[in-house]
Amino acid sequence: MPGLPPPPAARPADVLVIGGGIVGVSCAAHLAATGRQVVLLERKELAAGASGRNSGVVQHPFDPVLVGLHLETVGLYRALAQNGEPGLTLPAKPVGLMLVTHDVALAKGLTDQLALSHPGLSPTFLGPEAAIAVEPSLAQGVAACRLAIGYPVAPAAATRAYAAWATRLGVDIRVGASARPWLSSGRVVGVELADGDRLPAEQVVVAAGPWTPDVIDPSGAWRPVRSLWGVVATVALPDAPIHVLEEAEIDIEPGSGPAEPGENGTASQAGHAFSLVTAVGASSLGSTFLDEEPDAAALVPSIVARGASFVPSIASAQVGAHRVCARPLSVDGRPLVGRVPGIDGLWVAAGHGPWGISTGPATGRLLADLLDGRIAAPPPALDPGRFDGPPPR
């Protein structure tokens, strides 16, 4: 960011970060910005998981615990773009989110609920005629609740831009490097690589998304984060929607995650819920919320059919590549940011669910502030200590 100190001179790493998604590269960048010498280790490639395979929208998380991280993240993205990092530009203002449904009463009730819980988002009820006037791509009979939120971006753009900034600050990014914490006498002393090499460091940050529990505790006994699998297909729409569109049955209760059943719909119960985001000329159609890794190709026809019931032009659209990602969902729907209980020098930043690119950069700055002692403790709702720590090893 403007006014940051130059990269420190080369010296042994004092912080090692495991994970090359948006949370990991954000942690690495903000730690380096404080003068730390940082090495980031990624087992595959940057943005290989949900950070590069998401639907492509920086979205308000509705959860009051996460709203501050989201608003800070929007500001960090804008500062990053102004600082000349390539590939990431947010719209000047939100394009708008429309929560769409075939049930008019549901749309009205949801609008009333959000008017009480989130009045600052300007929730507006749109009956079928008003909805199609505002968003001509919609099918007849679709009602909506419109909210003044939503910044479409190319799925991997945020991670790549943050990685470019991290590199400029002196972070050593190593891809193809599988690592786990190296422990001695109850504290971390570095990482062990898959090839048997070891890298020493006094502090290790694990930001490995849904694989974080496996990295920290190979025994499988510690599982505060799991995978919630999503499938998204790229569709070519000549007249793509102006808004971000999501099915109204997607749950928006704080901390509960995105996929609880709606009162009148089976979308979430079946693990499917319509969404459509257009960013940089590409439309991403989704999505699924599944506990097991799916056969993505087999699900695309049902995703297209569900989407066409809301946006008819999807039925005749050319369907391009599809992608599948594992969203890192914590037990209570909120991320873990801070010290790992019971292991000195080991930190975790994981469990962001669908809100990784929407809150990851601010998470990175929070983690850097915690590690450097500028903040004594994370908010209780994000503290990893709210769960039992991993077993001793």
pLDDT band at 4; cut points 50, 70, 90: very low
Residues 249 and 323 in one domain: yes
Mean pLDDT of 279-287: 95
Closest CA to 258 of 393, 133, 99: 99
Query: Do 172 and 313 reside in the same domain of the chain?
Result: no
Residue 91 CA, distance from chain mean position: 18
What is the SS3 assignment for 236? strand
Tokens found for residue 199? 């890298």
The mean pLDDT value for 63-68 works out to 96
For residue 316, say if its preceding peptide bond is cis, omega within 30 degrees of 0: no
pLDDT confidence of residue 5: 47
| pTM of the predicted structure, to 2 decimals | 0.93
CATH code of 139's domain: 3.30.9.10
Q: What is the pLDDT of residue 250?
A: 53
Q: Which residues of 298-337 are buried (b: 16+ CB within 10 A; e: fewer)?
A: ebbeebbebbbbbbebbeebeeeebbbbbbbbbeebbbbb
The string of pLDDT tens digits covering residues 178-218 is: 999 999 999 999 999 999 999 999 999 999 999 999 999 99
Q: What is the pLDDT of residues 126-175, one digit of tens each?
A: 999 999 999 999 999 999 999 999 999 999 999 999 999 999 999 999 99
Asked whether the beta carbons of 155 and 321 are under 8 A apart, the reply is no
Domain count of the fold of the chain: 2
Mean pLDDT score across all residues of the chain: 92
Share of the chain above pLDDT 90, in %: 87
Per-residue tokens: 166: 């991290």
> In the chain, where do the E strands start and end?
15-18, 38-42, 57-58, 97-101, 124-126, 143-147, 151-152, 172-175, 179-184, 187-193, 198-200, 203-206, 225-236, 244-247, 272-279, 282-288, 318-330, 336-339, 346-350
Has residue 94 got a pLDDT over 80?
A: yes
Determine the pLDDT at residue 249: 72
Q: How far apart are CA 238 and CA 60, in angstroms?
A: 27
Same domain for 120 and 105: yes
Q: Are residues 242 and 324 in the same domain?
A: yes
> What would the pLDDT profile of 334-365 be if each residue is shown by its tens digit?
999 999 999 999 999 999 999 999 999 999 99
| Same domain, residue pair 370 and 310 | no
Residue 6 has pLDDT above 50, yes or no: no
How much is the pLDDT for 267?
A: 40
Domain that holds residue 63: 15-87+155-224+332-386
